[in-house]
Amino acid sequence: MAFEKNILCIGAGYVGGPTMAVIAAKCPQYKVVVVDVDKEKIRAWNSDNLPIYEPGLHELVKKTRNKNLFFSTENEKGIRESEIIFVSVNTPTKTFGQGAGKAADLQYWEKTAREILAYSNSSKIVVEKSTLPVRTASAMERILNENSKAIHFEVVSNPEFLAEGAAIQDLENPDRVLIGSRETPDGIAARKTIVEIYVHWVPRERIIESNVWSSELSKLTANAFLAQRISSINSISALCEKTEADIGEVAHAIGMDSRIGPKFLEASVGFGGSCFKKDILNLVYICESYGLEKVARYWEAVVEINEWQQSRFIQNMLTNMFNTVAGKKIALFGFAFKANTGDTRESPAIYVAQGLLAEQAEVVITDPEALKNARKDLKGFKKGLTFEPNPYNAVKGSHAIAVLTEWDVYRELDYKRIFKSMVQPAFIFDGRNILDRKKLFDIGFNVFSIGKAPLKHF
């Protein structure tokens, strides 16, 4: 069967896989191929055991795979046969050389551009799906278009705004889709081609067109604003703990102001995930490189507050457990950076686990989806660490529970039974404010929440 369009996506990760699965499902007339250098990952995408956990993803992949959605390691063939290439490779923080610790490491991105150039023998649209520093498109155009093949590449920016754990929902019903290009006739024609894909399921008024630099910068800015809201509410949570104000009540009161809005005001042990920190630090680096020191410091503070919130959580555990956790068993409820994902990248749980292990606590980690990644994250620790899928087994004989991921399953446990199996006095540190603190206190727990006065029996 001949397909109307041949779309390739380079990078079969958290963005490439789900995004292409949705495009394939919504546009059966297009052929969608996803390639990756990671053979194991591609093997997993072609199996019943997908490499990432995302509600609704497996069903979608089963419907489309090997019909109009294909996962492959054949970059060269994929590039040659496509007219539109989405690039969703990783763009982590640079760990070496200039800008180490802040700037985006663009080596995977640039390698991809060179591969596209090497294997192409016709003109193509290259779509920036990865999150990139503003003005990356300019460098890409240089690499791609200084060729002797008499072919032309139009670089379009189409950043992804999905949140993990809700990726399919976000992709099927996005707040907006942003497509930026050069304001030249070729640039505008290329972005219209990308618009044509999304109009199959996204209302036209939610598809925004802009210049390419605005599009690139909007992605970094959106993540910076979202993370800033969390750091803002977390900073106030610290003040609540000093003043008997309740962060839930404060968030509710300010969120009812329609200019502020109620979303993203959940105080927590801190934000995690692969992107907020890296994208803000990237923004900071860009500002510094343009001499905008004040702007750089302003955004850097969002990351600093987040790190402080995580260390404050560990300190709080230590202080309230009589200044020592050495030899005490502590159960961590949740290791993923948020619920409904197995992703643990930059999860606050990593820092909490490391902090407690450094204090010689016996740490037991439980999580419905993230234990495999947790094992990898903490592979350097040989002593005092166990992994247990069943939360009831995890808490047996423990002094404390720290809730680090807001999985629903933790709201519904039998805490009377749990209390009886723990060492007394028993502590709960709820880093997500998901538990009924009054009920827990009545059972006998000493309860510590974020931004609320503690409920203690002593």
Question: Which residues are annotated as catalytic?
Answer: 275
Q: Should residue 11 be labelled a site residue for ligand NAD when binding is judged by CB under 6 A?
A: yes
From ligand NAD, ligand UGA, none, interface partner of 439 (C-beta below 5 to 8 A by class)? none
From ligand UGA, ligand NAD, none, interface partner of 453 (C-beta below 5 to 8 A by class)? none
From ligand UGA, ligand NAD, none, interface partner of 130 (C-beta below 5 to 8 A by class)? ligand NAD
Angstrom distance (rounded) from CA 79 to CA 145: 16
- Would you give the binding string for ligand NAD spanning residues 225-264, x where CB under 6 A is met? ----------------------------------------
What are residue 31's DSSP bridge partners?
A: 6
From ligand UGA, ligand NAD, none, interface partner of 38 (C-beta below 5 to 8 A by class)? ligand NAD
- Crossing angle for the helix pair 136-145 and 212-243, nearest 10 degrees? 150
Nearer to ligand NAD, 278 or 328 (CB): 278
| Residues near 353 by beta carbon (within 8 Å), at least 6 away in sequence | 332, 335, 363, 365, 374, 378, 385
Only one of the segments 7-15, 383-391, 407-415, 444-452 lies at the binding site for ligand NAD (rule: CB under 6 A); that segment is: 7-15
Q: How far is the CB of 356 from ligand NAD (least distance, A)?
A: 27
Residue carrying the six token digits 């006739």 = 185
Angstrom distance (rounded) from CA 448 to CA 424: 16
Of positions 7, 9, 12, 113, contacts ligand NAD by CB under 6 A: 12
Q: How far from 206 is each of 20, 176, 219, CA to CA, in Å?
A: 19, 5, 16
Q: How far is the CB of 401 from ligand UGA (least distance, A)?
A: 18
Only one of the segments 34-42, 368-376, 394-402, 416-424 lies at the binding site for ligand NAD (rule: CB under 6 A); that segment is: 34-42
How would you list the strands of the sheet with 446-449, edge to edge? 385-387, 362-366, 329-333, 400-403, 427-430, 446-449
Q: How far is the CB of 234 from ligand UGA (least distance, A)?
A: 7
Angstrom distance (rounded) from CA 317 to CA 351: 13
- Would you give the binding string for ligand NAD spanning residues 108-137, x where CB under 6 A is met? x--xx-----------------xx------
The encoded tokens of residue 367 equal: 């999580």
Q: Is 128 helix (H, G, I), strand (E, B) or coil?
A: strand
Would you tell me which residues interact with ligand UGA (CB under 6 A)? Answer: 131, 160-164, 223, 226, 230, 264-266, 268, 271-273, 275-276, 337-338
Nearer to ligand NAD, 88 or 449 (CB): 88
Q: Should residue 280 be labelled a site residue for ligand NAD when binding is judged by CB under 6 A?
A: no
Q: How far is the CB of 111 from ligand NAD (least distance, A)?
A: 5
Q: Should residue 35 be labelled a site residue for ligand NAD when binding is judged by CB under 6 A?
A: yes
Instruction: Give the number of residues in contact with ligand NAD, rule: CB under 6 A.
Output: 27
Of positions 23, 162, 202, 428, contacts ligand NAD by CB under 6 A: 162
The encoded tokens of residue 329 equal: 């068993």
From ligand UGA, ligand NAD, none, interface partner of 316 (C-beta below 5 to 8 A by class)? none
One-letter amino acid of 278: K
How would you list the strands of the sheet with 124-128, edge to edge? 69-72, 30-35, 5-10, 84-87, 124-128, 153-157, 177-181, 207-211
Tell me the DSSP string of 14-25.
Answer: TTHHHHHHHHHH
**Closest to 166 measured CA to CA, from 263, 232, 89:** 263
Spatial contact of 134 and 286, defined as CB atoms under 8 Å apart: yes
Of positions 105, 141, 154, 160, contacts ligand NAD by CB under 6 A: 160
Q: Which parts of this chain interact with ligand NAD (CB under 6 A)?
A: 10-16, 35-38, 41, 75, 88-91, 108, 111-112, 130-131, 160, 162, 164, 274-275
